[in-house]
Structure 1
Amino acid sequence: MKTDNPVRSAIALCLVSLAATAAHPLSAQERLRPEIVVADTAAHCPSVAGAFVVLLDPARGMLLLSGAPFPGGNVIGDARGGELAVNLPGSAWKLDSAGSPEGQTPLWGARYPFLAASGFGCVAFDRERWSSEGDLVTYARWAVEEIYFQLPAEERQRRPDFRISDREVSFRVERGGYGPFEMTGKEGSTLAGRYQDSQQTFLFMPFILDEGAGRVAVRVSTTEGTYFDTTAKTVLGWAVAAPGEPGTLADSSIVVVVNSVITASED
């Protein structure tokens, strides 16, 4: 029977794992790097934790820190849980605190300039292995300049600390007149879907803003091709949502409904 307002089909495509970390979460014994916890009022960072921490300052650039050696990094002191002065060519940082749940640990660091957007804040990520300094810095700049600084400003003000880890997000994408997408994937990965009457592929990249509250930001893009080809990707914007609080992509009928946030320990 023909209706005046049929519900058109939405097809969820494959998950393209692009960004986050290892394919399988590592146990404490398998990890190469201890988690470090850093606070720096001057960078507007109340506290952030991860295998790598990046402190951000418009005048000084990006301070990259880790509790184990990394390409391009040098030993800058010991993370003991208290204040730490970091002196690198061209900049000096006085951290309010630097420590690790595993106890005192040497700290490696390096400073890099911004290439595009700049600002205050802090970003952490848990990907541990890097083939080169260029590989590591490219990823750090992607996390900082293309993701963190592009988040809605009110979300960065709400939670200046941002982390990309091994957590998983389950969410539903709704759009008026269409059936929903049900999607599950790692934070920082890309989930793709296509509406039956369109040649465009919609790309959904989730990031966790607040694990305890289940608050998630999903970057929505479209492409006329596949993710890995050179066809231009058009970023439509961000939808911010939490369980019981759907988020709407501005100037669109796309709504994101968060089902759950799953940590690596819950897998």
Structure 2
Amino acid sequence: MKHKLVCTIALVFLANTAHAQTYVVGVENLAFMPHYSTDKQGNYCGFAREVLDLFAATAGIQFDYRPLSGERLLAALLQGEVDFKYPDNPTWAQGQKAGKNLSYSQAVVNYVDGVLVPPMRQGQGVDKLQRLAIVNGWTPWAYQARVEAKHTQLIASDDLPAMIKLALRKDADGAYFNIVVASYYLDNIRAQPGALVFDPKLPFTRGTFNLSSSRHPQLIQRFDQFLIEQHEQIAKLKDKYQVEANLDSEFMGMEQWKVDALKRQKAKQTH
């Protein structure tokens, strides 16, 4: 069953909110649901917002979210203009971060970046992937050798909707993106569920979203403890937003309603 995630502001105040320390969290000004997004009023929302708000409430602090472009966000972190950056990962932008004393939290959420193709192209193999659509700023690490050898040509686009159009119009053989986010966009925004599907037989990359800081290593440690202590609550938020939907199963990248339908179909075939 499909559901629509609604951007909401879940500010949770303690009794001493007026005296709570406020920290600035630099976040991506990007439509990246169900992980995060910024609505028309400039409010940050989604799974990440709920997790970070929950931490602030338990720690007795306040977070002020500052949406920035991806390039500007990293600069703001390195220049000390924001207290924290989300998402981040120790493997990202290593050259720019060299010599900087950054602290990273444990993983907040897992993700998979991979290729979505029209259903009829699923399982054809990497040699058939001659034109790969990407969003500017994304690097398909698993395909770098093929790109350098000119076996795969990258076709850049400005954003996710433009990239999806390339694949749907067959101007590209596939589209490389976060598979949960791309599937959410197809199902809930474009309203074309199944028009493109993740191909697990093509190379893909696993990673994690982490919280980082150059100024507050103690709060990063406190956040790590929060991830342990609030594990059950965070798991409920992951389930609510489906941010890790079937990432470790044969149904990787599919929304739960699709998985349930396929399981019912398989059950009928075995009886």
Q: TM-score range by the shorter chain?
A: under 0.3
TM-score (structure 1 length as normaliser): 0.24
TM-score (structure 2 length as normaliser): 0.24
- Which protein is richer in strand relative to its size? 1
Larger relative contact order, structure 1 or 2 (CA cutoff 8 Å, min sep 6): 2
